[in-house]
Structure 1
Amino acid sequence: MVTLSGKGLTRRALLAAACAAAGGALPAFAAQGMRLAAVDWAMAETAMALGHAPVALAELIAFRDAAVAQPPRATVDLGLRGAPNLEALSLVAPDLILSSSYYSAIEPRLARIAPVFTRALYVPGEPAFPKVMALLGDLAGRLGDAAAGTRVQAAAAAEFAMLAGRATPHAGRACLLFELGDSRHIRIFGTDSLFGGALEAMGMRNAWAGGTRFAFAAPIPLERLAEYPEARLVVAGAIPVQVERALRSAALWNSLPPVRAGRVHRLPELRPFAGIPSALRFGHELVAALEGRG
């Protein structure tokens, strides 16, 4: 049985009491350093790369599906990113909430629970890669661990340099990066995308000179691929079975020069609006595909 006097009751004590009442215990990782809660996945991934895993994360199950590194088992699920469970968020008693401009509408409610650290990482027309790389240093500084930011930034730069070396034999041909929405539509990753920035960091070129359409639907008609007969086609993410079946017999798709020449490379499910760990995973998967090991 847990009893509380009510005097000097802190958020951490409340959480410990709630965990004890539920038959559990306060997670060990939650008792060390600054307690973080994340509603934004790029922020969560960055915090984990710095060695400061959030104690709570929005849409935790979906995050785990394609995570570069898995959150601790005791991580609390906060529900939807755009509408997190504020009661659960209060119970985990965060010292800092990690958010982004995607969730600016709910920031006032978040700020009533704990200070909010937020950045505008993905903005149409603005290169995202430098912002995501800079986030490593910015967040590390906010967490009082500037050395971690410097260390992880240096390691990431070195890894991209290594990938660039491996990609050199393939760098003469530009890539078109996209997801397949259905058999007639794609979503292109442009110069303002995480993947587009990672491609440049590897010394390769993005055939699509424009920006990314920041939408959940795939808004570009498949016919646009015919404008790039010399490009490599890089398909990110799993292709639905019905789309795969339709493409096999689609005259337009099969008439594309890159398809006829076998210059189509498929990558696994990746996070296009995440942090540097996902950018590095994209780089490794792309190089492996180019080397014929994908």
Structure 2
Amino acid sequence: MTDETFQPAHSRSALAALVVTPLLVLLLLASLTLPSRAEEPPDVATLDWTLAETLLALGVVPAGVAQIDAYGDWVLEPDIPDGVSDLGLRTQPNLELLASLGLDRILISPMFANLEPRLSRIAPVTTIGIYGPDSDPWQSMLKATRQVAEVVNRPQAAERLIDNTEAYLDETRERLPENVPPLLLVQFMDARHVRVFGESGLYQAVLDHLGLDNAWPGPTNYWGFSLVGLERLAELDAQLVVIEPRPAGVAEALKSSGLWRNLRAVHERPVIYLPPVWSFGALPSAKRFAGLLATALQAPYAVADEGKADD
């Protein structure tokens, strides 16, 4: 028999404790430092660009987004990283590709509600909307941001995004020039027709935050725009702001358009042209619009303000 045969039981227990205790400590540390599966964002895809920009702003890269190239034309920011699958048309997504992504969730807006029965065979579907009858666009943006964050387990990121956006708008308001006239916000559909943006909608929500007036007196839909002919703008005394993109051929056609040249807002003030901003967007688009608009407004009115300051 060896000495180990007669080793006291309490000694063997103490030895086992010396071995097991460090292992337990390591396991405890691992549980504290590694995120649980419940904390990780699920694998999600979306057909809706507004939800896509919100996911990206929350720090979550979706597995798939519909019409990525067109997103780059109309939304631009946040940029969709390489490697995100293009799901095809928003209204006719590639269902086979969607099924291959192993998704935990598919996000859509009410616009794509007719697709839900087919999409729900692939993964659970969550519908999140912003614009609708009698909605307050800004409050709806905040609500939608929190709803998206709840789906992807990022509630704190949502509050940071909201706080940062509101702080940015406050700072932007402070750097605006004085005496900016009412703004006439339009987007061309063709050389004779525009969407003119008024009450409701993302652009109006930003104007309200910035303390700027909208020149359009007419009604709008719940997206915040009305489709009108250029002649409806003829006598409005306003700073005209054209939001890109413009359809092919429009810029050239306007050069020879007497109707365009005779608009009061065209021949009395320089026209402001803004890069694309998603008018049906959420907080990222609101922030982008505020920044682009403020920068553009500083150019034509800075000289006038400097003169006023010297009085």
Query: Which residue of the partner structure matches residue 184 of structure 1?
Result: 192
Which runs of no fewer than 5 residues in structure 1 stay unpaired?
Answer: 1-31
Secondary structure of the residue that 1:219 maps to in structure 2? strand
Native 8 Å contact 2:191 2:253 kept in 1: yes
Query: Which residue of the partner structure matches residue 176 of structure 2?
Result: 167
* Candidates 284, 289, 293, aligned match of 2:296: 289
Matches of 1:108 and 1:240 in 2, distance apart?
A: 34
Larger mean Cα displacement after TM superposition, 87-96 or 121-130: 121-130
Native 8 Å contact 1:236 1:270 kept in 2: yes
Query: Which residue of the partner structure matches residue 256 of structure 1?
Result: 263
Matches of 1:125 and 1:227 in 2, distance apart?
A: 30
Q: CA deviation at 1:183?
A: 2.2
Please state if 1:265 is matched with 2:260. Answer: no
Native 8 Å contact 1:231 1:258 kept in 2: yes
Deviation per CA, 1:213-263, whole angstroms, max 9, x where unpaired?
Answer: 579x983011111241x2111100033463223322322222222211224
Secondary structure of the residue that 2:178 maps to in structure 1? helix
Secondary structure of the residue that 2:286 maps to in structure 1? helix
Native 8 Å contact 2:47 2:90 kept in 1: yes
Native 8 Å contact 2:197 2:226 kept in 1: no
What letter is aligned with 1:37? A
CA gap 1:165/1:240 in 2 versus in 1, 3 angstroms: same
Please state if 1:78 is matched with 2:87. Answer: yes
Secondary structure of the residue that 1:169 maps to in structure 2? coil
Secondary structure of the residue that 2:211 maps to in structure 1? coil
CA gap 1:243/1:72 in 2 versus in 1, 3 angstroms: closer
CA gap 1:218/1:247 in 2 versus in 1, 3 angstroms: farther
Query: Which residue of the partner structure matches residue 47 of structure 1?
Result: 55
Give percent identity, aligned residues only: 36
Deviation per CA, 1:145-170, whole angstroms, max 9, x where unpaired?
Answer: 21111111000000111111122524
Larger mean Cα displacement after TM superposition, 141-150 or 238-247: 238-247
Query: Which residue of the partner structure matches residue 107 of structure 1?
Result: 116
- Give 1:1-294 correspondences, 5 Å limit: 33-65=41-73, 66-123=75-132, 126-171=135-180, 173-213=181-221, 219-228=227-236, 230-240=237-247, 242-292=249-299
C-alpha RMSD of the superposition: 2.2
CA gap 1:213/1:263 in 2 versus in 1, 3 angstroms: farther
Q: CA deviation at 1:98?
A: 1.0
Matches of 2:254 and 2:100 in 1, distance apart?
A: 49
Deviation per CA, 1:56-85, whole angstroms, max 9, x where unpaired?
Answer: 111122223442122221111111111111
Query: Which residue of the partner structure matches residue 23 of structure 1?
Result: none
Native 8 Å contact 1:137 1:153 kept in 2: no
CA gap 1:143/1:218 in 2 versus in 1, 3 angstroms: same
Structure index of larger Rg: 2
Matches of 2:196 and 2:215 in 1, distance apart?
A: 10
Secondary structure of the residue that 1:167 maps to in structure 2? coil
Deviation per CA, 1:28-74, whole angstroms, max 9, x where unpaired?
Answer: xxxx5311101111001101101112111111222234421222211
